[in-house]
Amino acid sequence: MARYNRWQNESIYGAADGLSDEARRMDRGSFFGSIHATLSHVLWADELWMSRLSDWTAPSGTSREVPLYNDWEDLKARRAAADQRFLSWGETLSQSDVDGNLEWYSGTLKRGMTSPRGICIMQVFNHQTHHRGQVHAMLTAAGASPEDTDIPFMPDAYL
């Protein structure tokens, strides 16, 4: 999933890079409004979850501070760095890293939570896929052409 994630992020960010900053920030009626704000939210959530699952630093702010990562070039660089960290993390992940429960405090629900670690890892990648689907639709409506999203069509370079 980390490899798929990188492929899809490169596609989405590449397509978004062809738009003007104004077009990336235009409110398109999605949950976070714009392409930029949605991509910022995804990175924020990735960093938050990985601070719980690994040694990443938790992001500041909340997912409602849209966009938390306001500069497009900074957001792109942070995304690429995060994707590389996902790959490195995935290569060293062992079964003991997946087994057991994860305990954390949910700012959304305002209470402590406990879930199986494997479910939390799936949540990271499922959350990305959910919001990238929204971004893909916004990009298509804006006239951009991100790549296909089907896993079997992932280029060999990403396998």
Retrieve residue 124's tokens. Answer: 């990271």
Structural domains in the chain? 2-92+99-158 (1.20.120.450)
Closest CA to 138 of 8, 23, 11: 23
Classify the phi-psi angles of 143: left when phi > 0, otherwise alpha if psi is within -120 to 50, otherwise beta.
left
pLDDT of residue 68: 80
Residue 128 CB contacts under 8 Å (≥ 6 apart), including other chains: 5, 8, 9, 42, 46
Q: What single string gives the DSSP state of each residue in 17-47?
A: HTS-HHHHHS--SBTTBSHHHHHHHHHHHHH
pLDDT of residue 48: 95
pLDDT of residue 108: 85
This prediction's pTM: 0.94
pLDDT tens digit string along 8-25? 999 999 999 999 999 999
Closest CA to 80 of 36, 43, 111, 117: 43
Grouping H, G, I as helix, E, B as strand and the rest as coil, residue 71 is coil
- Whole-number Å distance between alpha carbons of 43 and 34: 14
pLDDT tens digit string along 77-107? 999 999 999 999 999 999 999 999 999 999 8
pLDDT tens digit string along 28-77? 999 999 999 999 999 999 999 999 999 999 998 877 766 688 999 999 99
Positive or negative CA dihedral for 14, 19, 24, 29? negative
